[in-house]
Amino acid sequence: MALAYDSATQFVAVALRRSRIDGYGVFAAEDIPAGTRLGLLTGESITVAEARRRAQESRRLMLVELSPARAIDASRSQDAMRFTNHSCRPNARIQVEDGEVSFFATQDLRPGDEITVDYGMTHHEGRLPCRCGAPGCRGSL
């Protein structure tokens, strides 16, 4: 079990384990009510141009754009939330505010639920098949 940390010094119990979606995922390890801040994502601050360059070199990305000019590369971060997978029907959302990337539950989560977000437009530009398996899946990222 891991604890996802947010800046308000709250801890939400999550578990990292293999995901049916892709690689590893983040799973609720306790009941989590909708609206709960799940944790933060930190990483290396880079330019969006550098993020796009890195995207061309790698199939597995952990990039979040903060603004039209800045991005975070979380590939070496210790944050559990960096393993949050994409779903076309997510149960959480990402909020970027003042350079901070937070995750919030959009519905009640039960122990064992995989925490997912909609990645939206990605640096993959539709070239990566989506494997979320959700009804109405878009088919690509």
**Interval 87-117: pLDDT, tens:** 999 999 999 888 788 999 999 999 999 999 9
Write out the chain in H/E/C secondary structure: CEEEECCCCCEEEEEEEECCCCCEEEEECCCECCCCEEEEECCEEEEHHHHHHHHHHCCCCCEEECCCCEEEECCCCCCHHHHCEECCCCCEEEEEECCEEEEEECCCECCCCEEEECCCCCCCCCCCECCCCCCCCCCEC
- Mean pLDDT (the chain) is 86
At 79, the pLDDT band (50, 70, 90 cuts) reads: confident
